[in-house]
Chains A and B, each alone.
Chain A
Amino acid sequence: MLFKNKDKQDQLVAALGRAVESAAADIHGRSPWADARGRFLRNKAAVFSLGLLAFITVCCVVGPWLLPNAFDAADWDAMSLPPMLKGWHFFGTDESGRDLLVRSLVGGRVSLLVGFLATLSAVTLGIVWGATAGFIGGKVDAFMMRVVDMMYAVPYLLIAILMVTILGRAFYLVVITITVFSWMDMARVVRGQTLSLRSKEFIEAARALGVPTRRIIFQHIVPNLLGIVVIYTTVTVPAVILVESVLSFLGLGIQEPMTSWGVLIHDGASVMEVSSWMLLFPAGLLSLTLYCFNYIGDGLRDALDPKER
């Protein structure tokens, strides 16, 4: 401890931190977060994608309540209709007369919900795994990373299919199955960042000044991890949605009566020769969502870590 007066010491550390930060920021004196936000907002594709994604999400959540057709209401008078304005069948209907627009939105709810839940658990697992491995280091780190490598070496879909075969297709089980294969990227990246942070000079300086470990973790390590966590979360979400869609497409994911985009695409593919809209609308929605996530992810990456591409 350099100073007997703890307040003075805190002030000094804070002042040093500010000095370093402002030296690192450009002449206008903006913080790195404000810089990143500015860069992101200037990326038109990313901003547009964010807006579009928000729009799709709102539609999926609120749409089915506002539209007159129920998603499971079979209407034998309106079977296999192409997209039309009559009866609010903007996307057309399927062979049982169920409205595709509402089904697409409801399916979107499920896909997005699974995406959100599975991402939440995958990201949590990944962060905990990676941070622990990176922070403890040594043999523990080596072992934990070996597990990650092994997970990568296995074609996930196979094991996912096996798990679904054995465990069944209840909603929560699908989420768990997906989680099991989606945490590795985050773990790897968090571990790398933790490792490099551990040995950075300003951490050593903080330690030399006597800052307690808990403080170091929360004031220095966590903010630096935040950037990379945000980036990889936006990478994980589309991957998770994709896994659920693949499983559902193969008939091994979400079960009747619930529906998801993957299920709708499967149904659509089987009748596409006569009713191509059944395939194109859900496929389009899914692809659009994935594209949005992609551009947002790219935008975040460029904003938080600008390098020439």
Chain B
Amino acid sequence: MWSYTFRRILATIPTLLAVVTVCYLLLHGTPGGPFDDERKVSAAVLANLQAKYHLDLPLWQQYLYYLNSLLHGDLGASFRYADWSVNELVAKALPVSAAIGGGAIVISLLVGVFLGTVAALRQNSVVDYLVMLLGNAGHVFPSFVIGPVLILVFAVWLKVAPAGGWDDFSPRFMVLPMLLLIFINVATIGRVMRGSLIEVLHSNFIRTARAKGLPMRTVILRHAFKPALLPVVSVIGPLAITSITSAIVTESVFSLPGIGKLIVNGAANRDYTLVLGLVVLVTVIAVTLNLLVDLAYALLDPKIRY
């Protein structure tokens, strides 16, 4: 198991390196990019950039310095604001995104697996159709449509939740954003769980379990659940990635001071180095999440044990 883990970790390094390198080159290589002399920056910012990015050295040395600082956890300096480093901005924004995103994923898993199971066990019933409809809607409607509609319904018409904003982790401001994320995630998780449970229930080993006279509850919980969960686990990886995308939109829609908002504002401001640093950070998070999912999958499936 450990050697598998180790090898998976090794496999992620080329991806990370590739992303960082491509982004870095994009930044430096494009004409009209930030490091051309044409861009006018304030003296203070320039001094900062010089110190952090070693702009007077040849490109390959700059690159190595950059990698080095990344490995030390230093994400760089802002291009616009002399007194903010990327790390400082991240430290304030990450907890917000983590709280909303993390909470949403956990709740989505529980709700999605539950709904998918119920739908599978009561195929073609009202519950099943509702779950499928929900799944379809969450899948087709874009997050930036569902979000404002949620605000319209709950904040403007029903007035039960604030339309956005943030108040130091106060729950009122977390409900609607989490609801949006949960809706989108449950759509996928519910559908996958339903499909995979239905398929598992048709397999030969379930027939054997029933032939042994085991009660349906045992058959489902002990025999069917684990194999049915495998496709769900394997879908969490891509889901986490799209969640990051959804998070960016969500924070925009609800004006939440998280990483997503930071990226969007940075992009609007053309704060290149900030965006670069954030992109690297989020990619690392995404790749790590994917790795964890792969490991979870290996834990569940006894056939994958090297």
Contact = CB atoms under 8 A, between A and B. Distances in A.
Interface in A244-280: 245-246, 249-252, 262, 265-266, 268-269, 272-273, 276, 279-280
B290 A153 contact: yes
Most central of B26, B33, B145, B245 by chain A CB within 10 Å: B145
A158 B148 contact: no
B121 interface: no
A246 B142 contact: yes
B45 interface: no
Main DSSP-derived SS at the A contact region:
helix
B270 to A, nearest CB: 6
Main DSSP-derived SS at the B contact region:
helix
Interface stretch (A89-97, A192-200, A287-295): A287-295
Contacts of B163: 273
A34 interface: no
Most central of B33, B152, B287 by chain A CB within 10 Å: B152
Given A268-B148, A272-B148, A272-B156, A287 B267 contact: no
A157 interface: yes
Interface in A131-175: 146, 149-150, 152-159, 161-168
A216 B45 CA distance: 62
Of the four ranges (under 10, 10 to 19, 20 to 34, 35 or more), the interface on chain B belongs to 35 or more
Nearest to A146: B14
B244 A158 contact: yes
A279 B149 CA distance: 8
Most central of B18, B156, B267 by chain A CB within 10 Å: B267
B248 A157 contact: yes
B23 A159 contact: yes
Given A245-B144, A272-B156, A273-B163, A162 B245 contact: no
Contacts of B165: none
Contacts of B263: 158, 161
Contact of B267 (A150, A164, A283, A290): A164
Interface stretch (B64-72, B82-90, B278-286): B278-286
Contacts of A272: 148, 151-152, 156
23 contacts: A150-B15, A154-B283, A154-B286, A157-B245, A157-B248, A158-B244, A161-B248, A162-B275, A164-B267, A165-B266, A165-B267, A165-B272, A166-B26, A166-B34, A166-B272, A246-B249, A252-B264, A252-B267, A265-B144, A272-B152, A283-B148, A286-B142, A287-B140
